[in-house]
Amino acid sequence: MEAKDMNEMEPRIIEAAKRVFVRKGYEAATMSDVAAEVGIGRTALHYYYRTKEILFDAIFGQLLSSLLPNIDRVLDEKSTMLEKMPVIVDLYMGIVRANPMFPNFVVGELNRDPERLFQTVLKDPKKIQPILRLRRQIEEEMDEGLLRKMPVIDLVSTLVSLVVFPLLIRKPLAAAFLDNDMGRFEEYMDRRRDLIVEVITQLMVPDAR
C-alpha cells in the first residue's frame, strides 16, 4: 500500500472510531463497527490497527498529544500564570472544538469504565508531565502571593467545566436559544472564550490585602 494512501486512511479510521466509540462505548463497539463506519473491510482495518485497544489508545493518545506539548511551551514562557491563562484557554478550547465528540466520549467512558481511561493515560506517564508542571507553577505562584490561594483542583475543574459543558449539551442549547442554528452556536463559543478568560482570571487574582 502506498504511503499516501496510508496517510489518508489513518485519519479516516480515527474519526470513524471516535464516532463509533461515542455512540456505543468501548465495550460494545467492535472492529467490525469501525470498519463499516469507514467503509472498508475488517481485514483492511487490521492492517492499520490490529485490536480495538490499540485503536482506542491511538485516539486518546492523539488528543492528549495535540494538547499537552502546547501547554509545555506555554509553561516555558517567562510570564505569570495570569498572563499564561488566556493562552491555555485558547489551546484547550481549540482542541475540544476541533474534536466536539471528545467530551461526550470521555464522559461516557468515565461512567462506563473509568479504570480503562486512567490506564490508557498511565501507559505513557510522560504524557501527564505537562499537567504536573502546570500544577506546580500554580502552587508556586499561590505561595508567592501572585495568585489567590485555593485547591488547584478547584481552579482546574472550573476551567474544564466552563469550556466543556456547553459542548456536552450543544444541541439542546442550540435548540432552546439559537433556533437550532449551529453556526450561531459556533459564534456563541467564540464569544464565550472572552467570558471564560474573565471568570478564570477573576478567580485567580489574589485577594486585596
Instruction: Give tens-digit pLDDT for 60-119.
Output: 777 777 666 678 889 999 999 999 999 999 988 998 888 777 787 777 777 777 777 777
| Boundaries of domain holding 195 | 60-204
Output the pLDDT for position 6.
Answer: 62
Is 117 in contact with 110 (CB distance < 8 Å)?
A: yes
Residue 191 lies in a domain: yes
Residue 161 lies in a domain: yes
Whole-angstrom distance, CA of residue 129 vs CA of residue 97: 23
The more confidently predicted of residues 147 and 19 is 147
Residue 209 lies in a domain: no
CATH code, 46: 1.10.10.60
Residue 117 lies in a domain: yes
How large is the average pLDDT for residues 44-49?
93
My answer on whether 65 and 30 are in the same domain is: no
Output the pLDDT for position 99.
Answer: 79
Residue 55 lies in a domain: no
My answer on whether 112 and 191 are in the same domain is: yes
CATH code, 167: 1.10.357.10
The burial class, CB within 10 Å (0-12 / 13-18 / 19+), for 121 is middle
My answer on whether 124 and 154 are in the same domain is: yes
Predicted TM-score of the model (pTM): 0.78
Residue 188 lies in a domain: yes
My answer on whether 157 and 102 are in the same domain is: yes
The more confidently predicted of residues 128 and 178 is 178
My answer on whether 69 and 46 are in the same domain is: no
The more confidently predicted of residues 44 and 110 is 44
Handedness of CA 169, 172, 177, 179 (dihedral sign): positive
**Which triple of cell numbers denotes residue 81?**
500564570
Is 161 in contact with 200 (CB distance < 8 Å)?
A: no
**Which triple of cell numbers denotes residue 121?**
493515560
In the chain, the number of structural domains is: 2
**Which triple of cell numbers denotes residue 47?**
492492517
In tens, the pLDDT along 138-190 reads 999 999 999 999 999 999 999 999 999 999 899 999 999 999 999 999 999 99
Residue 94 lies in a domain: yes
Max CA separation in the chain (angstroms): 67
My answer on whether 77 and 98 are in the same domain is: yes
